[in-house]
């Protein structure tokens, strides 16, 4: 029974695979933040780096931007998702939105941001549709829409990508929340659809999607690629500024970058605490609201508005990708023409060999990292189920550490670690680095549905003579096919989107679609970005499509397993 001895060790192994690098990486950040970096002749500890940071005149704006964009984007996304699900789950419109999820999710953040930037810019697609015949703009107007100082464009860009993510997580949670019966009861008691759902189902759903929400918040606050494309740059958000300092030729700037990274971490922690307080507040108010027993709150209008917003955000991404696709085939294309002068396959020919190589590399890394993450996650959850080796709450937080810390804060330290153990460069270490980020997402996607699985099925299987292993393989995993495939798809998408880990740990020698696309994006060549953005989207789209299609096919004759 090798497995019995192996399984209990898995949680520890998982934590080690994740914590070791993170702790080492953090250590590598904390030292320079407190003035210790022997290679540049700095010996600490001192607070010089923090002093320099606080003297940077852009700091207040950068901090404000990180906080407002992160909090507003997350809160708005959650609100939209909650209201849409409340008002429409089970309807045809909802089904349509569900179908659009996979393409939306698989669009990489950077590609989506580029598409949106080109849509809403003064010389962008929307303006071109109405110019000059309606607007009178013979030349694009000099309006600061993209990169506005309040970060509105950036917040919108984040919302368009967070809504599908949170909706996916909500769908996965819905399966376990027994939503159908609750809403039926609520409606029988005279509650309107949306009000009833919010009062009865939402608290249960939120409990399951809480960590994804936290991750979304932390991500939105420290995102780099979207912020570079859509966010302001005078000054930029704190995370972008950290990357800039990190790549300053003056190496002592890395001390300041490290200090800023610690500050960024503090901001994220602060924002999470603030969010937690908000949860408490909503809970208090919510209870009173539920008790008050009002049956409706303009349900039709609010639900309609929410659906409209959801559709709009979906449309923005899809239109953005469409326009990138057109760019990838465009010959000359000037304002105010709605379409290019001519179409050409030249961009695709130019980039064909590069993209195919990068696609291969991307696929291999994503598959291995995701498979490893899935095995570790299932192992952990199963060990928890069988031996009660449940992660403590603190342990759980540690598991999510890589998602709550800005990547740029601990990756350089991690790079040093890989170097010092000689595991440098090439695919293997990159896979390991991806695993650090893929694992929490896979765990996050799978844990709640896995735990919410009704243990009575296991009891019945046991009573019928099945061993725990057989129960796992023949009952539990098949029943959890959909969340499992969703988790895998999320894992692949996360891996496909990784930029800094691939670049830093791969020593630049591992060229994935994302590293190539971002290298090209600094030049702003929309045709090249179009080619790589579409390829990237494709790489992430296929697993999501499978996550939807496979359960539908496998469970075509199992009605009870199809709802989730």
Q: What residues line the site for another protein (CB under 8 A)?
A: 38-39, 56-58, 61, 121-123, 139-140, 142, 144, 146-149, 228, 232-235, 244, 246-251, 254, 330-336, 350-351, 354, 412, 415-416, 419-420, 424-425, 503, 507-509, 511, 515-516, 518-528
Residue 334 Cβ vs another protein, minimum distance, rounded to whole Å = 6
φ and ψ of 42, to 5 deg:
-110, 125
Between residues 147 and 264, which has the closer beta carbon with respect to another protein? 147
Question: How far apart are the C-alpha atoms of 268 and 70, rounded to whole Å?
Answer: 9
Residue 505 Cβ vs another protein, minimum distance, rounded to whole Å = 10
Between residues 333 and 410, which has the closer beta carbon with respect to another protein? 333
Residue 265 Cβ vs another protein, minimum distance, rounded to whole Å = 21
Residue 335 Cβ vs another protein, minimum distance, rounded to whole Å = 4
Residue 504 Cβ vs another protein, minimum distance, rounded to whole Å = 8
Between residues 136 and 142, which has the closer beta carbon with respect to another protein? 142
Q: 126 vs 3, 114, 147, 328, CA distance in Å?
A: 59, 14, 17, 19
Between residues 8 and 122, which has the closer beta carbon with respect to another protein? 122
Between residues 204 and 244, which has the closer beta carbon with respect to another protein? 244
CA 7 to chain centre: 29
Q: What is the DSSP letter of 560?
A: G
Residue 231 Cβ vs another protein, minimum distance, rounded to whole Å = 10
User: Count of alpha carbons within 13 Å of 488, Cβ hemisphere only?
Assistant: 20
Question: How far apart are the C-alpha atoms of 239 and 218, rounded to whole Å?
Answer: 11
Question: How far apart are the C-alpha atoms of 176 and 178, rounded to whole Å?
Answer: 6
Beta bridge partner(s), residue 330: 343
Residue 255 Cβ vs another protein, minimum distance, rounded to whole Å = 13
The DSSP code sequence of 264-295 is HHHHHHHHHHHHHHHHHHHHHHHHHHHHHT--
For 107-156, the three-class secondary structure string (H helix, E strand, C coil) is CCHHHHHHHHHHHHCCCCHHHHHCCCCCCCCCCCCCCCCCCCCCCHHHHH
Of 531, 516, 539, give the one whose Cα is nearest residue 370: 539
User: Do residues 163 and 81 make contact, with C-beta atoms less than 8 angstroms apart?
Assistant: yes
The dihedral over CA atoms of 127, 129, 133, 139, expressed in degrees to the nearest 10, equals 40
Q: 523 vs 145, 331, 337, 406, 518, CA distance in Å?
A: 21, 18, 23, 25, 9
Residue 139 Cβ vs another protein, minimum distance, rounded to whole Å = 5
Between residues 36 and 562, which has the closer beta carbon with respect to another protein? 36
Residue 267 Cβ vs another protein, minimum distance, rounded to whole Å = 18
Between residues 88 and 327, which has the closer beta carbon with respect to another protein? 327
Between residues 308 and 508, which has the closer beta carbon with respect to another protein? 508
Residue 362 Cβ vs another protein, minimum distance, rounded to whole Å = 15
φ and ψ of 330, to 5 deg:
-85, 140
Between residues 216 and 515, which has the closer beta carbon with respect to another protein? 515
Between residues 153 and 479, which has the closer beta carbon with respect to another protein? 153
């Amino acid at each position: 029974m090798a497995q019995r001895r192996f399984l209990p060790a898995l949680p520890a192994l998982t934590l080690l695979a994740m914590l070791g690098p993170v702790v080492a990486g953090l250590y590598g950040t904390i030292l320079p933040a407190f003035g210790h970096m022997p290679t540049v002749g700095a010996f600490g500890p001192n607070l010089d780096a923090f002093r320099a940071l606080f003297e940077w005149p852009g700091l207040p704006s950068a901090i404000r931007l990180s906080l407002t964009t992160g909090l507003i984007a997350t809160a708005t996304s959650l609100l939209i998702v909650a209201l849409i699900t409340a008002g429409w789950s089970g309807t045809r419109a909802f089904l349509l939105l569900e179908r659009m999820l996979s393409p939306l999710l698989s669009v990489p953040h950077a590609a989506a941001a580029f598409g949106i930037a080109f849509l809403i810019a003064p010389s962008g697609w929307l303006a071109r549709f109405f110019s000059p015949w309606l607007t009178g703009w013979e030349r694009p107007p000099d309006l600061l829409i993209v990169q506005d100082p309040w970060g509105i464009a950036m917040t919108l860009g984040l919302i368009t990508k967070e809504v599908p993510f949170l909706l996916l997580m909500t769908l996965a949670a819905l399966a376990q929340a027994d939503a159908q019966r609750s809403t039926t009861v609520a409606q029988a008691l005279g509650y309107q659809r949306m009000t009833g759902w919010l009062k009865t189902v939402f608290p249960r759903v939120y409990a399951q999607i809480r960590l994804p929400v936290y991750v979304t918040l932390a991500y939105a606050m420290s995102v780099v690629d979207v912020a570079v494309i859509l966010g302001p740059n005078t000054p930029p958000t704190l995370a972008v500024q950290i990357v800039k300092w990190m790549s300053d030729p003056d190496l002592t700037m890395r001390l300041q970058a490290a200090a800023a990274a610690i500050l960024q971490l503090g901001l994220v922690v602060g924002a999470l605490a603030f969010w937690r307080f908000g949860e408490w507040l909503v809970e208090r108010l919510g209870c009173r609201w539920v008790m008050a027993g009002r049956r409706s709150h303009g349900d039709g209008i609010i639900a309609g508005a929410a659906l409209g917003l959801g559709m709009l955000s979906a449309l923005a991404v899809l239109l953005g990708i469409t326009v990138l696709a057109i760019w990838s085939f465009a010959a000359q294309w000037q304002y105010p023409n709605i379409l290019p002068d001519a179409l050409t396959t030249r961009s695709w020919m130019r980039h064909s060999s590069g993209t195919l190589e990068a696609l291969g590399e991307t696929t291999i890394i994503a598959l291995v990292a995701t498979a490893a993450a899935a095995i570790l996650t299932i192992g952990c959850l199963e060990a928890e189920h069988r031996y009660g080796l449940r992660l403590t709450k603190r342990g759980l937080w540690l598991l999510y550490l890589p998602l709550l810390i800005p990547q740029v804060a601990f990756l350089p330290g991690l790079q040093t670690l890989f170097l010092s153990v000689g595991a440098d460069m090439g695919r293997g270490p990159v896979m390991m680095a991806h695993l650090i980020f893929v694992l929490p997402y896979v765990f996050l996607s799978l844990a709640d549905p896995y735990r919410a699985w009704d243990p009575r099925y296991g009891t019945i299987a046991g009573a019928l003579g099945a061993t725990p292993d057989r129960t796992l393989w023949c009952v539990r995993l098949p029943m959890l096919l959909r969340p499992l495939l969703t988790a895998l798809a999320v894992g692949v998408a996360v891996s496909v989107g990784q930029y800094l880990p691939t670049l830093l740990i791969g020593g630049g020698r591992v060229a994935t679609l994302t590293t190539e696309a971002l290298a090209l994006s600094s030049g702003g060549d929309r045709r090249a970005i179009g080619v790589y953005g579409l390829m990237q989207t494709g790489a992430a789209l296929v697993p999501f499509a499978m996550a939807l299609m496979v359960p539908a096919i496998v469970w075509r004759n199992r009605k009870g397993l199809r709802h989730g």
